[in-house]
Structure 1
C-alpha cells in the first residue's frame, strides 16, 4: 500500500513539473521573450541546463552493443537529444511517441533521435537492454554510465530533451515528456 502511494506521489510530482514547464513555455511565447539568452529554470527555481543558442557539448558514449558514438557524428541532421531512465514513468510514457515519430518521419524530416540513458542512476545495463527490447526502440540508445553527460547538460529532471539544429546548436529544450506532435513541430522549426 505504501509503495503504491509513493509511486502515485512521484507520478503526481512529475506531472506537476511537466505542467509547470509547459505553462512557463507558453507564457514566455506570449510575452515574446527572447529565449536565446535565457536558461530554463525548473519548478524549484534551480537553473537547469544549457542556454538556447549554445553549441551542444560534444561527447562520446557507448551504445548497448558496445559501439562508440559521438554526438558530432550526427552533424548535418537535426537531433532530438533525449535524457531518460528506465525507472522514470514520464520517460516510459514518451518513448512510444518517439518511436512512432522516428518510424514515420526520420527520413522525411532529416532528424535523428539520440536517447542518452542515465545508466549511472540504474542498477545494471541489462535493465536498459530489456527496456529497449520491450519498447521496440530502433533509434540510438547511448549509455551515460559515469553520469558525465548528466552533469555537462545539467540534467536535474528527466526526461529532458534538447532539439539541435543541423549545426549542433541548441534551439529548444523541453523538461518533461514530449509527444509525437510536439516533436514534429519542434523538428520542423529547426534549420
Structure 2
C-alpha cells in the first residue's frame, strides 16, 4: 500500500517540482543575450555592434572564414565599432586566447534566439541582441565589408 501511495501521490509532486526548477533556469537564461555551455552570460560590449558567429571546428568553411573576419574587423573603419564573438557548436572546448576572435562553447539556449540552420551562420546584433544582419555561409572580405556597412546603417536608424 505504501508503494502505491508513493507512486500515486509523492512521485508526481517530485517530478513537477523538478520540471519547475528547469523551467525557472531556462527563464533565467532568457535574460541574457548569449550564454556559454554552462549557462553563464557571455560578456558583450555595450558600445559596439556584435558579430555573432556560430561555427564548428569540423567545418572547413568556418575555419577558412576566421582569418577573413579577423582581417576585415581590424580595419580602421570597423575596429572600434564591432566585436566578434564566436560560438562553437560541435565541441565543449572554446578558445578565449584570441581577443579579436574569442570562441565560446555554445549553450543550446542560444539557438532559441539565434537559429542556426548550418555552419557558419553569422548574425550582426546590437548589444541588446537586436538582429541587424543575418549571414548564412562563409564570408569573403568583400561581402563581409558589405554586411558590416549594412549593419552600421541599420544601427543608425535604430538610434535616431
- What TM bracket, shorter-length normalisation? 0.5 to 0.7
Q: Distance in 1 between matches of 2:103 and 2:125?
A: 17
Distance 1:105 1:184, change over 3 A: farther
**Is the Cα contact below 8 Å between 1:78 and 1:187 reproduced in 2?**
no
Say which of 138, 145, 158 aligns to 1:184.
145
**Is the Cα contact below 8 Å between 1:90 and 1:177 reproduced in 2?**
yes
The unaligned stretches of length 5 or more in structure 2 are 1-31, 156-160
> What do you get for the CA RMSD once the two structures are aligned?
3.0
Q: Distance in 2 between matches of 1:139 and 1:116?
A: 10
TM-score (normalised: structure 1): 0.52
Task: Measure how far apart 1:140 and its partner are.
Answer: 2.2
Q: Distance in 1 between matches of 2:120 and 2:109?
A: 16
Q: Deviations over 1:147-186 (max 9, x none)?
A: 3323542212110011124654211111100122222222
Q: Distance in 2 between matches of 1:185 and 1:86?
A: 26
The unaligned stretches of length 5 or more in structure 1 are 1-56
The equivalent residue for 1:116 is: 87
TM-score (normalised: structure 2): 0.60
Q: Distance in 2 between matches of 1:70 and 1:166?
A: 11
- SS of the aligned residue for 1:163 comes to strand
Q: Distance in 2 between matches of 1:153 and 1:173?
A: 10
The count of corresponding residues between Structure 1 and Structure 2 is 120
Structure showing greater relative contact order (alpha-carbon pairs closer than 8 Å, 6 or more residues apart): 1
